[in-house]
């Protein structure tokens, strides 16, 4: 069974690409980590900065990783390939890797200006805001952990093109 990790900043296309990949490839279960994050609402802490900017940082990365790994293992035990998609920080990925092998790892990282435009086009309930997008861009560009992820600039790629690259890479690595 294959385990595919797809991560990147808000608005990079993770969910859209993962859903398309799972729907067109019937062997995949798609774990959207945002659903698991929101099962623990107390892990989001409201922070109001001096300039009035409001943020809700997530604090339970290690627990999230443990839960993702348990769910992924359940799918694997039932003969399904797994996509783990979402904004996960390094602590989560390390916890996942204690329990399962990530066979293919992808970092979707569009140009920052495109990333901001995409985020701004989202509904208010899922829009992260320019500051959060920039923080995500910096995090993924500067965190050494992601250096062995296959980097995909999705700025000018369609969902279909991105999925095609991912499928070709998975097949090459199999």
pLDDT, residue 168, reads: 95
Q: What is the mean pLDDT of residues 119-141?
A: 87
Cross-strand pairs, 82: 3, 29
**Following DSSP, what letter does each residue of 121-147 receive, concatenated?**
TS-TTT---HHHHHHHHHHHHH-GGGG
- Dihedral of CA 123/43/130/144: which sign? negative
The domain segmentation of the chain, as residue ranges, is: 3-173
Cβ atoms of 96 and 72 closer than 8 Å: yes
Topology of 3-173 in CATH?
Rossmann fold (3.40.50)
- Dihedral of CA 3/152/85/9: which sign? positive
| Digit-coded pLDDT (tens) for 72-123 | 999 999 999 999 999 999 999 999 999 999 999 999 999 999 999 988 888 8
- Dihedral of CA 7/12/16/22: which sign? negative
pLDDT, residue 71, reads: 97
pLDDT, residue 18, reads: 97
Q: Which two tokens stand for residue 151?
A: 């980097």
> Is the model's pLDDT at 52 over the cut of 90?
no
Query: Residue 174 — very low, low, confident or very high, per pLDDT cuts 50/70/90?
Result: confident
pLDDT, residue 129, reads: 82
Cα-based angle 46, 47, 51 (whole degrees, multiple of 5): 140
- Extended beta strands in the chain, E state: 3-7, 28-32, 47-48, 54-55, 81-85, 104-108, 150-152
pLDDT > 90 fraction of the chain, expressed in percent and rounded: 71
pLDDT, residue 96, reads: 97
pTM of the shown model: 0.92
- Dihedral of CA 139/140/144/146: which sign? positive
pLDDT, residue 44, reads: 84
Q: What is the mean pLDDT of residues 53-71?
A: 89
Q: What average pLDDT is seen over the chain?
A: 92
> Is the model's pLDDT at 47 over the cut of 90?
no
């Amino acid at each position: 069974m294959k385990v595919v990790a797809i991560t990147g900043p808000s608005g990079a296309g993770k969910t859209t690409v993962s859903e398309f990949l799972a729907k067109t490839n019937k062997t995949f279960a798609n774990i959207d980590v945002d659903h698991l994050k929101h099962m623990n609402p107390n892990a989001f802490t409201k922070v109001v900065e001096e300039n009035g900017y409001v943020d809700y940082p997530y604090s339970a990365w290690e627990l999230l990783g443990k839960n993702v790994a348990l769910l992924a293992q359940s799918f694997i035990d039932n003969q399904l390939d797994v996509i783990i998609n979402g904004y996960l920080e390094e602590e989560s990925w390390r916890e996942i890797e204690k329990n399962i092998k990530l066979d293919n790892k992808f970092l979707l990282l569009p140009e920052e200006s495109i990333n901001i435009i995409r985020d701004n086009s989202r509904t208010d309930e899922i829009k992260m805001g320019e500051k959060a997008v920039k923080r995500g861009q910096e995090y993924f560009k500067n965190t050494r952990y992601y250096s062995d992820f296959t980097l995909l600039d999705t700025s000018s790629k369609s969902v279909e093109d991105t999925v095609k690259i991912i499928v070709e890479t998975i097949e090459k690595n199999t």
